[in-house]
Amino acid sequence: MENQVGKFTLDTSITFITRILQLVLGIGSSIVVARVLGPNGKGVYSLAILLPSLLMTFGSFGIGQASVFYIGKKQYALDEILGNNVMLSFSLGIVGLLVGLIIVVFLSESLFPGVAKIYIYLALLLVPLGFFLTFINYILLGLQKIKEFNFINILQSFTFLIILFAFLLTFKFGVKATIIANVLSCFVGAIVLFYLAKRSVGKFYLFFNKSYLKEAFKYGFKVYLGNIIGFLHYRIDIFLINIFLNPLAVGFYSIAVALAEKIWLVSQSAGLVLFPRVSSETDEKRLKELTPVVCRNVLLITSMGALFLFFLGRMLIIMFYSERFSDSVWPLQILLIGAVTMGGWRILANDLYGRGKPELNIYISLISTVLNIILNILWIPEFGIAGAAWATSVSYTFAFIVILIVYKRISGNSVCKTVFMQRADFILYKRLVTSVARLS
């Protein structure tokens, strides 16, 4: 068990360090964008890139996660999976692009009031690139090539920031330039990713394997439904704020959401590593021991991060984004409650994905999302963006409680063992501190 936890900790640490670097780069990009564009421009940019995110979520069909699952089960050859994923990314990317163009032409005025069409047209270029990056990078994750997987994410964030500064220095900065920088950074990432995937897999051929496609869509469709519902759960509040209020309110709220979600760094890192481990694990005893250790430690670390942001959030917002974004502070503090519980949800959800039971996540997410929408509709007109923050935190916490009960029944682990620190955890921390002290 110690070797298992040790290897898991190493891979999670690599992923976490990557997320920290992404955080630094992301904050740098966010500061540049917010200070130059202002609250309203920031809101317009957030809304413009929302459509590509929706199209990628609705059009991915869970193929990336299915790749991880079947690589773990060793059911198909790697060259078959890579070839099929490349073909699928091109095919679905073109379809998504066409659907996006139709939406912009006929529905942009009602769905995206206050956002110029040219911004959304440019942002649609992210769709085919996004499919490719997702489908191919998940192959690296399935192979448990954690370093290569994380390198692609860092490369995109770094390239985005560099291009932003290039536009800023040439005085061509604006919403349009920000979107173009996003597109170019994804393009660079796609080129490097293709090289890394080909080097890991070797030769491959561009063709559709009917057997793989059938199985991938069968498993992936369940994940797909969960992703759609999850995306709505994460982002429906932004849509509703723009409908009930205005882009200015979206600008304030988007800063609060961006900061609150930063404490997901640990749960995202651990969840990414946990999924392929659970998928490939054949020893039920080892599986039963691993997830509770991950979940309770993620909850502890995430809670500490939430306390830090709760007390220092105002200072950080004013320091990085200026006094103009002070209205983001109160929503941030409210969102931190849900950010902690959603961190625990992510760990247990990845365990269920790895066990081949993604449909359970769908049911829980659907109920929680409906609750989120109802509360947003009731509270945004009454309490503004603070109401949206409360709706999000309540629904996130509800989802965590339900999935905790479901996981308890499937795994046989108790709630206390899954949520609260155990004596073994403190022994591991003591050994870790001792090892670091010896190195220093």
For residue 432, name the pLDDT band (cuts at 50, 70, 90). Answer: low
13 against 309, higher pLDDT: 309
Distance CA 43, CA 247 (A): 5
Q: Please, are residues 204 and 83 in contact by the beta-carbon 8 Å criterion?
A: yes
Domain range summary for the chain, segments of one domain joined by + = 2-439
Q: What's the confidence (pLDDT) of residue 433? A: 62
Nearest Cα neighbor of 300 from 420, 154, 389 is: 420
- Distances from the Cα of 190 to the Cα of 103, 135, 179, angstroms: 26, 11, 17
359, burial (CB in 10 Å: exposed 0-12, middle 13-18, buried 19+): middle
Task: Please check whether residue 337 is in contact with residue 393, taking contact to mean a CB–CB distance below 8 angstroms.
Answer: yes
Task: State the pLDDT at residue 293.
Answer: 87
Least confident segment among 70-74, 117-121, 415-419: 70-74
Secondary structure of 303-335 in HEC code, one letter for each residue: HHHHHHHHHHHHHHHHHHHCHHHHHHHHHHHHH
Residue 192 pLDDT > 60, yes or no?
yes
Classify residue 54 as exposed, middle or buried by CB count within 10 Å of its CB (0-12, 13-18, 19+).
buried
Q: What is the pLDDT of residues 47-91, one digit of tens each?
A: 888 889 888 877 888 888 888 888 877 778 888 888 888 899 999
Give the pLDDT mean for 361-377: 92
Of the listed ranges 300-304, 369-373, 423-427, the least confidently predicted one is 423-427
Of 205, 235, 273, 177, residue with least CA distance to 56: 235
427 has pLDDT over 80: no
d(CA 269, CA 261): 13
pLDDT of residue 378: 95
What's the rounded mean pLDDT across residues 227-234? 78
pLDDT above 70: percentage of residues in the chain: 94
CA 386 to each of CA 237, 313, 337: distance values in angstroms, whole numbers, following the listed order: 11, 15, 13
Per-residue pLDDT band for 386 (boundaries 50, 70, 90) equals very high
pLDDT band for position 277 (cuts 50, 70, 90): confident
Is 433 exposed, middle or buried (CB count within 10 Å of its CB: 0-12, 13-18, 19+)? exposed
User: Residues 226-243: what's their mean pLDDT?
Assistant: 81
Buried b / exposed e across 305-340, counting CB within 10 Å, b at 16+?
bbeebeeebbeebeebbeeebebbbbbbbbbbbbbb
Average pLDDT of 184-192?
93
Q: What is the pLDDT of residue 226?
A: 78
pLDDT over 90 at 370, yes or no: yes
Amino acid identity of 392? T
pLDDT tops 70 at residue 435: no
Distance CA 313, CA 353 (A): 34
**Mean pLDDT along residues 204-212:** 82
**pLDDT value at 404 more than 90:** yes
When pLDDT is cut at 50, 70 and 90, the band that residue 368 belongs to is: very high
Confidence of residue 6 (pLDDT cuts 50, 70, 90): low
Average per-residue pLDDT for the chain? 85
What's the rounded Cα separation, in Å, for the pair 220 and 70? Answer: 11
Residue 77 has a pLDDT of: 83
User: For the chain, how big is the Rg over CA atoms in Å?
Assistant: 21
C-alpha count within 13 angstroms, C-beta hemisphere, residue 361: 29
* d(C-alpha 304, C-alpha 20), whole Å: 16
For residue 184, what pLDDT is reported?
A: 93
**What was the pLDDT predicted at 206?**
79
